[in-house]
Each structure stands twice: as structure tokens, then as C-alpha cells.
Amino acid sequence: MKGTQMVSDGKTARQLFEEVMANPARRKFGFGTKLAIVNVDFQQAYTRTDLFATAYETDPRQIEWVNAISDLARGAGMPVVWSRVGYADDAGDAGVWGTRTDTPDSLQNIKYGSERHAYDPRCRIAPGDLQYTKRMPSAFFETPLASYLVWHKVDTVVVTGGSTSGCVRATAVDALSRGYRTIVPIETTADKHESYHFANLTDLQLKYADVEPVSAVIDWFGAR
């Protein structure tokens, strides 16, 4: 027998993540020459734990770190992108994704122009940043992102935001699928439960992205 059965060793998702990060088994994709910061769904529905039941927090400095690397990107003449989720009043543009529940907190009930749709005011969004509303998990799906990155001759995508297990993961997988070196800074992502968070960071690191401390992005800008 050359393969193996599924491992069940009782380790937590955090323990597995720490083991993978401490003993990397594969080479990194690394940074290219020009990156874009893609900030996924920093909207109040998901960031304002003081206002909405759907919000969550992992690292309390998450938005601070995102602002810092976004500032560095702008200073280097590199693009910064902000996405958020929102739907029409009848949720007709949510598709099948909007059919599993129908409560005031449900995804498809994030209406355009609502408080849940609004970006978190702590986000430092500049006039030249690309901003748009998406309707599905990936920041690439039926949005202007793909053509925007081509126009800016980007070869590296840095994905931040939430949730790690949802829209961050979907965006990172799509970035790699489109041929981009993909970086996910740990402190800039968040999820509702540490198991989802660390399990998906582990999977991203093993397959689809370089999962790095945010200091790696800061250092890259400093070394240019």
C-alpha cells in the first residue's frame, strides 16, 4: 500500500497550522515585482462586532495591519482594492446562495446602501482605490478585478479580509488559478471560529498561497 488512510490524530486546527508553518515542506511562490492588495469584505456586517451578530474578530489589529500595507502599496504606486457584498431589495441577484436562510441576518439581506453594506469606518480607503460590490464569495467572480489587475501589470495578489474559510479562501484560490503569486498575511484575516480559521490557513499554505506574517509584506516593501 503506497497511500494512506485519512489521518485522525486528535490535533487541533491551530496545532496543525503551527506544525505546517514551523516545518514548511514546499517552496514558496514568493513575491513578484508588482503586487495588489485585495481587501475582501471589510464591511460592517462582518467587522462591527458591536453592531451585528454576523460580525467576527480574530486579531484585534486586523484593520490596522490592512491599513498599513495598503498605505505602503499606494506609496509604491501599486493598486489597492476593496470588495464588499450587497444585494438588491428582492435579493434576486443573490442566486441560489441566498436560498438557505431568510432572516434579518442572512447574507442576501445585506442591502445596497445599508449599514451592513457600508465599509467599516476604520478602513483607510483612498480616492484612487478600486471599490466594488460583489455577489459571490470570490472577489474575482463577475467583478472588474481580473481586468484591473491585468491593466496594472500585477503579478502578485495579497489577499486580506474575511472570512478566512469563505471569501478569503475563494479569492486566494481564484488568484492562483489566474496565474498570480498569492500571499495571505495571517494577521489580516479573520473568521468566526479558530478551527475554520486555522484549518483554511493550513490548506491555503499547503496548496494555494504563501501564508505569511504581515511583517513579510511590510519587509518586502522596505527592501524595494
How do the domains of the chain map onto residue ranges? 29-84+122-223
Q: What is the mean pLDDT of residues 133-149?
A: 98
Residue 167 in this model has a pLDDT that exceeds 70 = yes
For position 1, what pLDDT does the model report? 58
Of the listed ranges 3-12, 65-74, 127-136, 199-208, the one predicted with least confidence: 3-12
- Among residues 99, 94, 67, which one has the least CA distance to residue 80? 67
Verify whether residue 167 is a known catalytic residue: yes
Report how far apart, in Å, the C-alpha atoms of 44 and of each of 57, 134, 205 are.
Answer: 12, 15, 28
**Ordered alpha helix ranges (H), 76-179:** 145-151, 169-177
For position 4, what pLDDT does the model report? 83
Determine whether domain 29-84+122-223 maps to CATH 3.40.50.850. yes
What does DSSP assign to residue 123?
S
Percent of residues, the chain, with pLDDT higher than 90: 95
Q: What is the mean pLDDT of the chain?
A: 97
Which residues are paired to 1 by β-bridges? none
Cell numbers at residue 123, please?
Answer: 478602513
Identify whether the C-beta of residue 199 lies closer than 8 Å to the C-beta of residue 172: no
Q: What is the mean pLDDT of residues 150-164?
A: 98
Catalytic entry in 36, 167, 172, 190: 167
Residue 2 in this model has a pLDDT that exceeds 80 = no
For position 25, what pLDDT does the model report? 85
pTM for the model stands at 0.96
Q: What is the mean pLDDT of residues 197-224?
A: 97
Q: What is the mean pLDDT of residues 93-105?
A: 94
Half-sphere exposure of 40 (CA within 13 A, CB side): 32
Give the pLDDT band (50/70/90) at residue 49: very high
Q: What is the mean pLDDT of residues 67-92?
A: 97
| Strand 156-162 with 189-190, pairing | parallel
